[in-house]
Structure 1
Amino acid sequence: MELENVVMELIIHAGEARSCSMEALSAARKGDWPLADQHLTEAKAAAREAHLIQTQLIGADEGAGKIPVSLILVHAQDHLMNAMLCRDLVEELIYLHREVSALKNHQSRRAS
């Protein structure tokens, strides 16, 4: 496969990972835990695909500069890093949403 196509695949998978992470956060805000978990699973799968492509590119480069560094390659790497950071932060935010929701449910049961 042509390098440009490989890089575009990296961008697509990284973008999908980020989008799924944000969908998970949106579902968590609504208290839809199964949907939040589903989107997180999808985010992890897309990130795994992107990371596999990145690993293949690194292997093909062999640390010898065999892969030309272009603006689109830098852009793809940026997308992947942002997607990974986004997923990590979203996982933590969803954890906090669950904790707050559980606390509210506990308090409302005690008040009844």
Structure 2
Amino acid sequence: MEKSQVQLLAFQLIAHSGDALNHFNLALDNAEEGKFQEAQKEIHEGDKALVAAHKAQTGMLTFEARNEVIEYSVIMMHAQDHLMTTLNYERFAKRLIKLYEKMLNEKE
């Protein structure tokens, strides 16, 4: 896999991970305001963006699994960092939304 192909996959990972992170942030904003249905819609959209990111990542992993050479790329390392950060943020956001729901239910 040539460096330009690796960079293209990296930019796809960054873009999709960034989209997902934005949706998870919007989900938290909605949950903080008690808009849990809207929060779940944003979580769903964020999850769809993560699927797209994983597809880009899987393409690269499949290539390497065939023992084909992949050019090292700092951009890909950066992209993987974005993806992992977003995956952790997703888990955090989902837990916080549950906490917001619980707090709101206890107030009522």
TM-score for both structures, normalised by structure 2: 0.91
Q: Indicate which of 81, 90, 94 corresponds to 1:87.
A: 90
Q: Indicate which of 50, 53, 60 corresponds to 1:50.
A: 53
Task: Report runs of 4+ in structure 1 exceeding 6 Å deviation.
Answer: none
**Higher relative contact order (Cα pairs below 8 Å, separated by 6+ residues):** 2
Unaligned 5+ runs, structure 1: 106-112
Please report how far the alpha carbon of residue 65 of structure 1 lies from its aligned counterpart in structure 2 after TM superposition. 6.3
Q: Which residue of 2 aligns with 1:13?
A: 16
Figure out how many residues of one structure are paired with residues of the other and give that number: 105
Change (3 A) 1:48 1:24: same
CA RMSD in angstroms comes to 1.5
Q: Indicate which of 28, 38, 42 corresponds to 2:41.
A: 38
Q: Indicate which of 64, 72, 87 corresponds to 1:69.
A: 72
Tell me if structure 1 keeps the 8 A contact 2:6–2:73.
no
Q: Of the two, which has the highest radius of gyration?
A: 1
Unaligned 5+ runs, structure 2: none
State the distance in 2 between where 1:57 and 1:33 align: 36
Identity of aligned residues (%): 29
Please report how far the alpha carbon of residue 64 of structure 1 lies from its aligned counterpart in structure 2 after TM superposition. 3.8
